[in-house]
A = this chain, B = another copy of it.
Amino acid sequence: MPITLTTTQPDFDARFTALLGAKREDSPDVDAAVAEIIADVRTRGDQALIELTARFDRLELTAERLAFSPEEIAQAIAQVSDPERAALELAAERIRAYHARQMPEDAQWTDKTGATLGWRWTPVSAAGLYVPGGLASYPSSVLMNAIPAKVAGVERLAVAVPTPDGVINPLVLLAAQIAGVDEIYRVGGAQAVAALAYGTETIAPVDKITGPGNAYVAAAKRRVFGRVGIDMIAGPSEILVIADRNNDPDWIALDLLSQAEHDESAQSLLITDDADFAQLVIKAVDRRLETLERRAIAGASWRDYGAVIVVRNLDEAAALSNRIAPEHLALCVSEPQRLADQCIHAGAIFLGQWTPEAIGDYVAGPNHVLPTARSARFSSGLSALDFLKRTTLTRMSPEALHATGPAAETLAQSESLEAHGLSVRARLDHLNR
């Protein structure tokens, strides 16, 4: 049974705060081990990768076999069924179309002083995408990371994916191919992040690393941050469903369970303005949990971190949602757009009962890499912008320098930066001659 709260309870606020603050993830301290692995890869390159892969993935490689060959890729993806291939292609097309619209415009203008100002966006030259192996090896995540990079114009996109005991999910290779990935390496863990950041004899270094991973991968990304860019460090997944009584309780239960089945640390929250409906959803969840394949995981998540909150009205729901800042926010209410306008902190919003969150995981088009753990307060899901950077442009005319230079000189003097002031003054003196 998940926690059930109502905003009319006298101690609601304390209970809600406790729910918000609940730690859902053990972060094992792997930092020392990761530091050692990174140093090893920096020093010994390919040889370190080969030894670490033998140790962690029980796989004997050579430098030549670090990368999947075109033949290996072709052979693996030949096993993919036609419906799976078609589904990946549909997803890729829709993700591409959505992210293409994110491409920002360059700008340049001349202001009244005669200064020409602007900015220019350019893609990162090379990006690396980490793809987990084993259970959490999701082809949809390959699309969600790789397509924005290619839309942004990244020339070289390398994937690193561990293949424990040599096993690879053919759908991951197909997704990489559909997305236009250029290189695929069978290395994982902190060693893969180190190789992408610093390069080895075989793997050229990249400028930006994205993609999910375990505690080792997360710690490695945190360590190489600065040397390369990274995306967010993602925590366990979350959904908040706000639903009124005009919903099928089973649909809402399945939306909650879609999140819960990811991970025992996932969190599924329901806010409703109808206490009876809340009970119907709880019953529907229990019923589905009887047969669900991943019922052990989903049940643990729902029991330990699930919560149902009954509110007086939807304004209260919006206010609570803003304190939660959910990764996924599903609005199953009669006027979802109105409620969405009030919910200002959320990674992704799904409007209306015909928009199950799962549609966003695969085929809707927006990215499914989203800010977790309340970080939607200050960050955004992955986008084409994450693979672009902006250069500011300034061109002063003599007139513009004449108009603004004296102020720059004054500020330079007040900051005791004499050369700054002189670099302006020398030019102004020339103009005033």
Binds B, one of A6-14, A45-53, A185-193, A346-354: A346-354
Q: In the complex, which residues 86-136 of chain A have their Cβ closer than 8 Å to any Cβ of chain B?
A: 86-88, 90-91, 94, 97-98, 101-102, 104, 107, 109, 111, 115-117, 119-120, 122, 124-125, 135
Chain B min CB distance to A372 (Å): 10
Shortest A79–chain B CB gap in Å is 12
A sample of 29 inter-chain contacts (CB < 8 A) reads A87-B411, A91-B408, A94-B111, A117-B364, A119-B366, A122-B344, A140-B415, A208-B378, A250-B426, A258-B417, A337-B395, A348-B391, A350-B394, A352-B395, A355-B394, A356-B424, A357-B423, A358-B417, A359-B401, A360-B392, A362-B408, A362-B411, A362-B420, A366-B392, A366-B394, A371-B389, A376-B391, A380-B389, A380-B391
Q: Does A150 contact B (CB under 8 A)?
A: no
B294 touches A393 (CB 8 A): no
Question: 5 additional contacts, CB 8 Å, given A222-B222, A258-B419, A358-B408?
Answer: A251-B423, A261-B418, A356-B424, A360-B392, A380-B389
Q: How far is the CB of A39 from chain B (nearest CB, A)?
A: 15
Shortest CB distance A238–B (Å): 15
User: Looking at A255, A373, A424, which has the most chain B CB atoms within 10 Å of its CB?
Assistant: A424
Q: Which of A364-415 contact B (CB under 8 A)?
A: 364-367, 370-371, 373, 375-381, 383, 385, 389-398, 400-401, 404-408, 410-412, 414-415
- Bound state CA distance, A397 and B353, in angstroms? 9
Judge whether A377 and B207 touch: CB under 8 Å: yes
In the complex, the answer to whether B84 meets A410 with C-beta atoms within 8 Å is yes
CA of A408 to CA of B254, assembled, Å: 14
**Distance between A258 CB and nearest chain B CB, rounded to angstroms:** 5
Chain B binder among A54-62, A69-77, A225-233, A270-278: A225-233
The listed residue (B107, B354, B364, B420) touching A361 by CB distance below 8 A is: B420
Residues of B within 8 A of A356 (CB): 423-424, 427
Query: Quick check: is A139 within 8 A (CB to CB) of the other chain?
Result: yes
With beta carbons under 8 angstroms apart, the residue of B125, B357, B395, B419 that contacts A294 is B419
Give the distance in Å from the alpha carbon of A292 to the alpha carbon of B251 in the complex. 73
The residue in chain B whose Cβ has the minimal distance to the Cβ of A104 is B104
**Bound-complex Cα distance A358 to B415 (A):** 12
**A248 part of interface (Cβ distance < 8 Å):** yes
